[in-house]
């Protein structure tokens, strides 16, 4: 069985994460026009900044959280490491290092996507063009996903790609829920109002989950129902449970098929996480505090990432000094 260079595993893991991250950010920006309107109809872009804990860095660069500034910060700004342009630049740099491993088609598409983003100017991301540009970004990310599915060789690298994509996706879903938590709590009087309901609709739409949700819950939409769906649904491809199960499967396969025995450390953590998710209910989560639960999940994902880095990317391996 061909060995996989630890650095390649790391690059492929992060390539998947950055592409997934860019797609999720585009989804969020896309629906934010409705998503972040409060009961007075004003668009509040600060919530987006909270989503990624970016407020401090943002206000160091921009005076106000206007639509124009926030969109620039998140789409084009190379100084912002969480911007889509920066994510795709990082994805491309990883892909460049991975060129001996990935297909030429994967590389070419990422390279062209990156070049296209580099060519965008302020007018391209003006609010009236936002929908179009977000659609382009989403579609480019999905094209990447499709090309990868159809052309990427299914050896170890494929597993690390899957780990990155699913971990990022799970993490993004918790963040998406968390932002809604933030918009809800400060003014409890809004709960259950038409604005509130439309916001939960938007939240589902940004996760491409509106129709799926309707199929599962045709007769009503409750905030708890939406949160439960995004966390625990067994079949929705962006639910935390589905993503975590996929991560757990991949870690198991790496361990059994490729005999990567060091992988037991992250596997144990993902087993535990999966057990927790599979046995939990949204009622229990809400009574214990949704925000706290989401926080704990994000911490688990981060620890899982560290475990993976240590055992597979050999992040902890000290370089031996020859005598």
* b (16+ CB within 10 A) / e for 258-280: bebeebeebbebbeebbeebeeb
x/- letters, 114..153, toward other proteins (CB under 8 A)? -x--------------------------------------
What does the alpha-carbon distance between residue 278 and residue 172 come to, in Å, rounded to a whole number? 19
* Interface residue with other proteins, options 66, 78, 81, 112 (CB under 8 A): 112
Is residue 97 within the footprint of other proteins (CB under 8 A)? yes
Considering only 140-148, 214-222, 259-267, 271-279, which stretch makes contact with other proteins by CB under 8 A?
259-267
**199: its two tokens:** 């916001």
Report phi then psi at 108, rounded to 5.
-60, -40
* Interface residue with other proteins, options 52, 72, 156, 183 (CB under 8 A): 156
Is residue 317 within the footprint of other proteins (CB under 8 A)? yes
Is residue 264 within the footprint of other proteins (CB under 8 A)? no
Is residue 107 within the footprint of other proteins (CB under 8 A)? yes
Considering only 20-28, 131-139, 146-154, 314-322, which stretch makes contact with other proteins by CB under 8 A?
314-322
Contact status, residue 244 vs residue 270, Cβ threshold 8 Å:
yes
Is residue 100 within the footprint of other proteins (CB under 8 A)? yes
Contact status, residue 151 vs residue 157, Cβ threshold 8 Å:
no
State the number of binding residues for other proteins (CB under 8 A): 33
Is residue 99 within the footprint of other proteins (CB under 8 A)? yes
Is residue 19 within the footprint of other proteins (CB under 8 A)? no
Is residue 205 within the footprint of other proteins (CB under 8 A)? no
Distance of alpha carbon 13 from the chain centroid: 13
Q: How far is the CB of 278 from other proteins (least distance, A)?
A: 28
Q: Long-range pairs for 236-242 at CB < 8 Å and ≥24 separation? A: 236/209, 236/212, 238/169, 238/172, 238/173, 238/207, 238/208, 238/209, 239/173, 240/170, 240/173, 240/174, 240/277, 240/297, 241/274, 241/277, 241/278
Residue 188, number of CB atoms within 10 A of its CB: 8
Is residue 104 within the footprint of other proteins (CB under 8 A)? yes
What does the alpha-carbon distance between residue 117 and residue 91 come to, in Å, rounded to a whole number? 13
Q: How far is the CB of 267 from other proteins (least distance, A)?
A: 14
* Interface residue with other proteins, options 9, 133, 277, 297 (CB under 8 A): 9
Q: How far is the CB of 251 from other proteins (least distance, A)?
A: 12
Contact status, residue 145 vs residue 19, Cβ threshold 8 Å:
yes
What does the alpha-carbon distance between residue 229 and residue 15 come to, in Å, rounded to a whole number? 28
Considering only 55-63, 94-102, 223-231, 282-290, which stretch makes contact with other proteins by CB under 8 A?
94-102
* Interface residue with other proteins, options 76, 260, 282, 304 (CB under 8 A): 260
Is residue 4 within the footprint of other proteins (CB under 8 A)? yes
Q: DSSP letter at 188?
A: G
* Interface residue with other proteins, options 119, 128, 259, 316 (CB under 8 A): 259
Binding interface with other proteins (CB under 8 A): 3-9, 93, 96-97, 99-100, 104, 107-108, 111-112, 115, 156, 160, 254, 258-260, 262, 312-314, 317, 319-322
């Amino acid at each position: 069985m061909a060995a996989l260079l630890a650095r390649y595993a790391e690059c492929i893991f992060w390539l998947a994460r950055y592409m997934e991250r860019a797609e999720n950010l585009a989804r969020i920006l896309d629906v934010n026009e409705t998503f972040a309107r409060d009961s007075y109809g004003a668009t509040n872009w600060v919530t987006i900044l909270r989503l990624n804990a970016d407020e401090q860095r943002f206000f160091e660069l921009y005076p106000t959280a206007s639509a124009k500034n926030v969109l620039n910060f998140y789409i084009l700004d190379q100084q912002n490491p969480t911007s889509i342009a920066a994510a795709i630049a990082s994805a491309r740099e990883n892909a460049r290092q991975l060129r001996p491993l990935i297909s030429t088609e994967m590389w070419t598409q990422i390279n062209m996507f990156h070049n296209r983003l580099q060519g965008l100017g302020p007018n391209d991301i003006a609010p009236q063009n936002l929908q179009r540009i977000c659609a382009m970004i989403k579609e480019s990310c999905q094209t990447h996903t499709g090309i990868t599915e159809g052309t990427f060789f299914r050896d170890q690298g494929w597993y690390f790609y899957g780990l990155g994509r699913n971990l990022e996706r799970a993490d993004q879903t918790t963040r998406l829920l968390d932002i809604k938590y933030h918009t809800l709590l400060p003014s409890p009087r809004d709960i259950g109002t038409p604005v509130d309901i439309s916001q939960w609709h938007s939240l589902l739409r940004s996760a491409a989950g509106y129709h799926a949700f309707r199929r599962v819950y045709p007769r009503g939409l409750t905030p708890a129902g939406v949160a439960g769906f995004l966390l625990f649904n067994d079949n929705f491809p962006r639910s935390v449970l589905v993503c975590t199960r996929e991560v757990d499967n991949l870690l198991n396969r790496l361990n059994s098929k490729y005999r990567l025995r060091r992988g037991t450390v992250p596997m144990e953590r993902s087993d535990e996480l999966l057990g927790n998710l599979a046995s939990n209910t949204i009622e229990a989560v809400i009574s214990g505090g949704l925000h706290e639960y989401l926080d704990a999940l994000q911490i688990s994902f981060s620890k899982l990432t560290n475990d993976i880095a240590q055992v597979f990317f050999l992040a902890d391996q000290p370089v031996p000094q020859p005598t």
